[in-house]
Amino acid sequence: MRHRLGQRPGGQRGPLTGPNPTDRGKSGSKIHLIVDRRGLPISLGISAANTHDSQALQPLVQGIPPIRSRRGPRLRRPAKLHADKGYDYPHPRRWLRTRGITPRIARRGIENSTHLGRHRWVVERTIAWLTGCRRLHRRYERKPDHFLAFTAIAAALICYRRLPK
């Protein structure tokens, strides 16, 4: 049986929509980022859309390269980490505290995520810069290594464009 345009099966009105790739159990991919205050990507990772965000936090923090400081040894970790509600679970908070990082994560059901908005928009802007690249807007590559390589190239281009002239 064929449906008329603009109607769902069962007589419900509204446009037909396809599956959302970031729903649980669906195919797709997510880009996870750690950025500095200016929005420059420090660490990035790719995961499947059906994995939980809290599982990507440890590899991202471990992937932060040493940061040059004016005096003393190079810094290997940030002092604070701002994150949205997807990372609000006890095990990431505990793990961050053992590494000496203060977690600033919005709590599910208690805090409004708008309090992190002034810090979160920097990450959203960097993701918008990344999706400005045609290869990252829609995933064409089958292998995740290739997609990660294109994401790393795009992050390097973002860092290059933000250099002082």
Distance between first and last Cα of the chain: 62
pLDDT at 34 over 70: yes
Question: pLDDT per residue over 62-97, tens digit each?
Answer: 888 877 777 777 767 788 888 878 888 889 899 999
The answer to whether residues 26 and 19 touch, using CB atoms and an 8 Å cutoff, is yes
Q: Residue 14's pLDDT is what?
A: 47
* Beta partners for residue 47, in sequence order: 30
What is the mean predicted confidence (pLDDT) over 8-21?
52
Spans of all domains in the chain: 29-161
- Going through the chain in order, the beta strands assigned E by DSSP cover 29-35, 41-48, 80-83, 102-105
pTM for the predicted model, two decimal places: 0.69
Q: How many CA atoms lie within 13 A of 89 on its CB side?
A: 12
Q: Residue 94's pLDDT is what?
A: 92
- Give the CATH class of 29-161: alpha beta
Question: pLDDT per residue over 115-165, tens digit each?
Answer: 666 677 788 888 888 887 766 666 667 777 878 888 888 888 888 888 877
The whole-angstrom separation of Cα 12 and Cα 117 is 37
Percent of the chain with pLDDT over 70: 71
